[in-house]
Structure 1
Amino acid sequence: MAIDPLKILFVASEVEGLIKTGGLADVARALPRYLAQQGHDVRIILPFYKTLKRRNEARLLASRWLPTPAGQEDIGYRLHQLELDGFPVYLIDCPRYFERAEPYAEHNQAYADNGERFAFLAAATLHATEQLGFAPDIVHCNDWHTGLLPLLLKTRHSHNPFFAQTRSVISIHNAAFQGVFDRQQFWAVPEIQDYEQRINYDYGHINLLKCGVLYADKINAVSPNYASELLTHLGAHGMASVFQQRAADLRGILNGCDYQDWDPATDPHLPANYDAKALRGKRLCRAQLQQDAGLPTSDDPVYGMVCRLTEQKGVHLLIPALESFLRHKVQLVIVGSGDPTLAGQLQALAARFPTRLAFINTYDDRLAHLVEAGADIFLMPSLFEPCGLNQMYSLAYGTLPLVRAVGGLKDTVVDWDVAEQATGFCFTDPTANGLLDAMRRSLLYFLQEPERFARVQHTAMQTRFDWPDSVAQYVQMYRDALGR
């Protein structure tokens, strides 16, 4: 149990097991779980989305009105609660903002009022917390959706004795998404007007991520290398000067991997389980993957990819590389959805190479696990990658990751050429040719050095990124924020 346990309010826009669109959800479940296991008092706050899983299990705690500026109508909301991993999740229920088909966007178009929606979430979070009587030591914010919380603690609640000992931290899971909106969307948060010069994006627009970075007591990037990249103009997505201004308070803590959900020895999604000592089950997973993907049964090397279809993930580099690579005796299974243009190009390639390429235009959790287990090599040619989790899953499943050496990928994958420490393949050149060279290199080693490939698989499966190691660094950051 923790010495001097902390009260931590974890605020996120998605949490795995309840609502998920990306890796933020995995962290927003795992980190609170491991903090709670160490004896800290952890609560999560999340929007009560229409599509929330286990929605019918939530019990109503209270109905409240969020005060707004004079002349404006107060905003009514209800507060619900359910349990996740043994600790409470509070759900902010406001149909005008969260009773929608998706959390952020429909048909690849963001909701026009996202600024107003998540400004409400920030203000309602602190209002609800006070109604609950839970005075947190730390409010842990995540990405732009929660960027207003640190500012509200330092303005609206600066003289509120309830929050007198409360400090804030913000985790940057992806600084490319900054939450830039017209200032008129923030009518319920008049405090912004006094600080607009510092947090504006350009005339008349507010940058919510910039707001969080400027006013949080500590800032965390989700890998050490990504923290370094955020201090550079190349890697900071236009916010380098802001991160440089807060460099003394910027940390880089690598996300852990949740091996409770991602362990080939126990994974319930697989047709056969296996571990580093006995890989027979992996061959059965490969056969099942080929069958489910509609590819012929073959001993040709199988490459896998599970991702959102975006330029960030390097899909636009992969498509031209495949024109040449699929002429080799290989198979590739891609599972993911996103940009319809990229999806159309992949569908066209799959039609041209039906025995080599399977593209499944969806996100399916079972298929994601099967790709990790059934493939030999996993592709992550990202332009940038703050941390990345799939490369950690791939290592655990003995599926060697092929990554571009950026962000957390550089922190977690050791290139084939680094002798006994190798766990995968790395390249640096962000071009289709750079990726193609790396894929051909991996294919050559797979075919010509099978014994070494097996040894590298074994090394990969022994590599661990355990959450307790990361949690210790988070707790130290919390204590530094509190001055303890």
Structure 2
Amino acid sequence: MPPRPRRLLSVASECAPLLKTGGLADVVGALPSALAEQGWRSRVLMPAYPGILERVGSTKVVWEDPDLFGGPAVVRAGRHGGVELLLLDAPHLFDRPGGPYNVDGHDHLDNHVRFAALSWAGARIAIEGTADRWRPDVVHAHDWQAGLVPSYLHYAQADVPTVMTIHNIAFQGIFGPDQLDLLRLPTWDFHHEALEYHGLVSTLKAGMVHATKVTSVSPTYAQELTTPEFGFGLEGVAAARRDGGDLIGIVNGIDTTVWDPAADRAVVHYSVDDPAAKDRNRRELLAEFGLAEPAGPLAVVVTRLTHQKGVDLLLEALPGFVEAGGAVIVLGSGDPGYEYALNDLGARYSQSIGVRIGYDEPLSHRMYGGGDLVLVPSRFEPCGLTQLYGMRYGAIPVVASTGGLRDTVVDASPENLAADVATGFAFADIDAGGLAWALSRARELYADPPAWQRLRHRAMSTPVDWGPSAERYAALFAEIMR
């Protein structure tokens, strides 16, 4: 008989296509199928937010707790979108209006309790197994919402190896030490080498301290985490794990079955070897937003509207770009001030700038399909998936040279263009001037159609799937099992 597949429990607060607020969900949803090719069978544990159980359909109860931080809870096993799911059905924690983390723009006041419950359930399943006799060999915890899984396993002295992945260290799950007893955490370990974080508790720090290994979502970001500029107060913890050989950067991939211009139902199909229909997608996208045909490239922006994402740099640089012949379409939501400013910019340049406030997955696919450029001017970016979607669809990325953007985009310097390795435009000075300079280079190359077509072909030919990264994760999981 062949050996049974190794078992991985992935604990996360969201998973595409079931629920998505950002790139975390895409990673959690895509990695299981890639790991299956490496001999790993994954289950994803996430909360049963309102409407989730109805979307999944048939489930069976495989774990229960009569008092999970204030109320009864069960875990239901099901399947959706090719992903095996364990859904934490705890109505007292998750059956409420709003998004998974907030309502009307304000965080749920008990988020620390809600996601401690998710972590507790993950740890107990790792120790006890489920009613259908499934117990993981390794637990993979994602971001602060699952940060207490390694801690609960550590305090239970459970022999279950864990990997803690940091998708964005800016979000840390902070609460007061007066909550330690409530969350079943030992007050005796409230000190700077364990749970204490500047007088408070950080679930992300707890995970970083107690996990067997810590990963970040790109090699450059792993290095950046050890610096005050990017570590957000946890640079010392990151440096200690790095020095011990326990902090590793593994770049994200994307699900190339979902993101495939040759099969995507949201676009007119085209491919790297037959890109002609991309022009039709471009025309249809311009028409959808009522924009005039520009003399230069059409740039698209799909992002959260926050300071981190460099939206203020866009507001400063885009007028010059469109006045020089470009056009821009923006999709996103976030800071109300940025939403207002972008709408105002769109009204001032109504023939050249289109703005859609909100989240629209099919529209994002149409934008990559029709865009010539995708703009990612982030001040910091752990990995970023936007640039990978852009490369896959021939929307050339214009990126700040930071984090995973640096690791995944090869700048269109004269040398890189001559060697046919360039995949986009990068700028090291992360300010409006740096972005404007990169946009001017993109306009110049766009004016040379043969050179532009070569750049687009190279970008679309570059592997962006999960294959190599899944191999690295599988090797890491196998290592810590030993």
TM-score interval (norm. to shorter) = over 0.9
Kept in 1: contact 2:311–2:338 (CA 8 A)? yes
- 1:25 corresponds in structure 2 to 25
- 2:198 corresponds in structure 1 to 202
Matching of residue 117 in structure 1 with residue 111 in structure 2? no
Q: CA deviation at 1:402?
A: 0.3
Matching of residue 244 in structure 1 with residue 259 in structure 2? no
CA deviations over 1:142-182 (Å, ceiling 9, x no partner): 00000001010011x21xxxx43x11111111111111112
Kept in 2: contact 1:229–1:407 (CA 8 A)? yes
Matches within 5 A, 1:358-373: 358-373=354-369
Matches within 5 A, 1:99-178: 99-100=95-96, 101-128=98-125, 130=128, 131-132=130-131, 133-155=133-155, 157-158=156-157, 163-164=158-159, 166-178=160-172
Q: CA deviation at 1:455?
A: 0.6
- 1:326 corresponds in structure 2 to 322
Kept in 2: contact 1:33–1:85 (CA 8 A)? no
Kept in 1: contact 2:175–2:202 (CA 8 A)? yes
CA distance in 1, matches of 2:221, 2:58: 37
- 1:474 corresponds in structure 2 to 473
Q: CA deviation at 1:390?
A: 1.2
Cα distance, 1:85–1:3 mapped onto 2, change above 3 Å: farther
Matches within 5 A, 1:333-372: 333-372=329-368
CA distance in 2, matches of 1:444, 1:242: 45
Q: CA deviation at 1:58?
A: 4.1
2:174 to 164, 167, 180: 180
Cα distance, 1:474–1:61 mapped onto 2, change above 3 Å: same
- 1:267 corresponds in structure 2 to 264
1:303 to 293, 296, 299: 299
Q: CA deviation at 1:53?
A: 7.1
CA distance in 2, matches of 1:117, 1:338: 23
Kept in 2: contact 1:269–1:370 (CA 8 A)? yes
SS in 2 for 1:171: strand
Kept in 2: contact 1:293–1:360 (CA 8 A)? no
SS in 1 for 2:175: strand
Q: CA deviation at 1:425?
A: 0.3
Cα distance, 1:416–1:53 mapped onto 2, change above 3 Å: farther
Kept in 2: contact 1:400–1:457 (CA 8 A)? yes
Q: CA deviation at 1:469?
A: 1.1
Q: Structure 2 regions of 5+ residues with no counterpart?
A: none
Cα distance, 1:60–1:53 mapped onto 2, change above 3 Å: closer
- 1:9 corresponds in structure 2 to 9
Cα distance, 1:351–1:185 mapped onto 2, change above 3 Å: farther
- 2:212 corresponds in structure 1 to 217
- 1:38 corresponds in structure 2 to 38
Q: CA deviation at 1:56?
A: 5.6
CA distance in 2, matches of 1:395, 1:425: 12
Kept in 1: contact 2:399–2:427 (CA 8 A)? yes
CA distance in 2, matches of 1:235, 1:475: 28
CA distance in 2, matches of 1:53, 1:36: 25
Kept in 2: contact 1:141–1:168 (CA 8 A)? yes
Kept in 2: contact 1:19–1:53 (CA 8 A)? no
CA deviations over 1:191-246 (Å, ceiling 9, x no partner): 2412221322222x211110100000001111111111112222212211000111
Matches within 5 A, 1:367-382: 367-382=363-378
Sequence identity of aligned pairs in percent? 37
CA deviations over 1:238-297 (Å, ceiling 9, x no partner): 211000111110111111121101111111111x11112222110110011112222134
Cα distance, 1:451–1:86 mapped onto 2, change above 3 Å: closer
CA distance in 1, matches of 2:228, 2:386: 27
SS in 1 for 2:256: coil
CA distance in 2, matches of 1:253, 1:311: 25
Kept in 2: contact 1:66–1:74 (CA 8 A)? no
Kept in 1: contact 2:43–2:85 (CA 8 A)? yes
